[in-house]
Chain A
Amino acid sequence: EIVLTQSPATLSLSPGERATLSCRASQSVSTKLAWYQQKPGQAPRLLIYDASNRATGFPVRFSGSGSGTDFTLTISSLEPEDFAVYYCQQRSNWPLTFGGGTKVESK
């Protein structure tokens, strides 16, 4: 199965700062990668699909990039509601797999 490694595990930033999250795959997944946002006590929510397409309802400060094995989620300027855990998921091969997550916390 494809292993996804997310880094860092925790990102401590202040509102207004830029967040850069990484997801690395153990083999190529082309651009078949999704990102999810999860807040405490809630189910995850689809944020980015096909590596770089923003899902409905998310503002332009969220962007995704990458292909093959290296992917990045960028939040250009953190808002208070962006502090959450972010997961990547590969959708290239069965079984589908998730990364371990990156927690973006307020400094």
Chain B
Amino acid sequence: EVQLVESGGGLVQPGGSLRLSCAASGITVITNYISWVRQAPGKGLEWVSVIYSGNGIHYADSVKGRFTISRDTSKNTVYLQMNSLRGDDTAVYYCAREWFGESNGIDVWGQGTTVTVSS
């Protein structure tokens, strides 16, 4: 069974940093597109970032320069380092597998981890 499990969320002050983790099982992060998608309270989905084979990386304009996505293949884990956090970064952060073959879409979602940016 393919599973993504997020961790690392919590309460952080504006301007602070946090690192989220996404541990994968049933798939290998190095051969898949692994994304972060967030959802602010009562709001819609916002695509944040992706990492894929060959060190392909992309970011949403809203987080470029503040967030960094990376992976540790030995731990089969993807990370999202979030710096210079702001109130509008408050959200549930989902780790997700982007599939670009048959069933072109996000076909696996984690349960989400909550990030709250507040003083």
| B58 on interface, CB distance cutoff 8 Å | yes
What chain B residues lie within 8 Å of A95 (beta carbons)?
47, 50, 58-61
A46 touches B105 (CB 8 A): yes
- Contacts known (A94-B58, A95-B58); A49 close to B103, Cβ less than 8 A: yes
Cβ proximity bits B23-41 to A, threshold 8 Å, 1 near / 0 not: 0000000000001010000
Q: How far is the CA of A94 from the CA of B45 in the complex (A)?
A: 16
> Main SS of chain B's interface residues?
strand
Q: How far is the CA of A46 from the CA of B104 in the complex (A)?
A: 9
| B106 on interface, CB distance cutoff 8 Å | yes
Q: How far is the CA of A45 from the CA of B46 in the complex (A)?
A: 15
What chain B residues lie within 8 Å of A44 (beta carbons)?
45, 106, 109
**A-B CB contact pairs (8 Å), 19 listed:** A1-B61, A32-B104, A43-B94, A43-B112, A44-B45, A44-B106, A46-B105, A46-B106, A49-B105, A55-B105, A55-B107, A56-B103, A91-B100, A95-B47, A95-B60, A97-B47, A97-B60, A98-B46, A99-B44
